[in-house]
Amino acid sequence: MMDLNFAIHIAAPPARVWDCMFDPLAYRDWTRAFAEGSYFEGEWAAGRRLRFLDPQGFGMEAVVDVCESPQRLSLQLVGEIREGCPVPDSALHATPARETYRFTPQPDGSTQLAVQLQAWDSGFLDFLKDTWPLALQRLKALAESTH
């Protein structure tokens, strides 16, 4: 298991960045870096379950631990999904991975967004290292475009 950290400066206030990150339509746009047609099901609220899926029904299931709009969101990835169904023997059942997003306001009104991925299986590391920077650049473009 490994941890990864990503950060990006976005010339928009935290509330705008938050909205672009978690809005269902904007989410489909910026997460194309991970899989074309990515989407989520569920609600970004503490204690709620979310499913992150591609059009073929492959993805992850998560539970939101903390949702403090627009400052911080933390979730645990608790299971894998294949063809729309939970995978009963997923390694995430034994050791959930965690994702934390921090939206730090800057003096000029912009946002420093930090993404921390904790306890990820090493089989995903290269993919995550390649795709998260691309996804964050697209999120930046979305947040700054209508600011």
CATH number, domain containing residue 25? 3.30.530.20
- pLDDT value of position 120: 66
Distances (CA, A) of 59 to 82, 86, 120, 133: 7, 9, 14, 19
Give which of 133, 117, 113 is closest to 11, Cα–Cα.
113
Distances (CA, A) of 82 to 34, 57, 75, 87, 130: 16, 6, 20, 6, 23
In terms of DSSP H, where are the helices of 35-124? 91-94
- pLDDT value of position 3: 87
pTM equals 0.91
Q: ∠ at Cα 88 (116, 5), nearest 5°?
A: 10
Number of domains in the chain: 1
Segments of the chain with pLDDT less than 70: 1, 92-93, 119-122, 146-147
The whole-angstrom separation of Cα 1 and Cα 34 is 20
- pLDDT value of position 83: 93
Q: Supply the range of the domain harboring residue 113.
A: 2-145
Distances (CA, A) of 34 to 10, 51, 134: 20, 14, 9
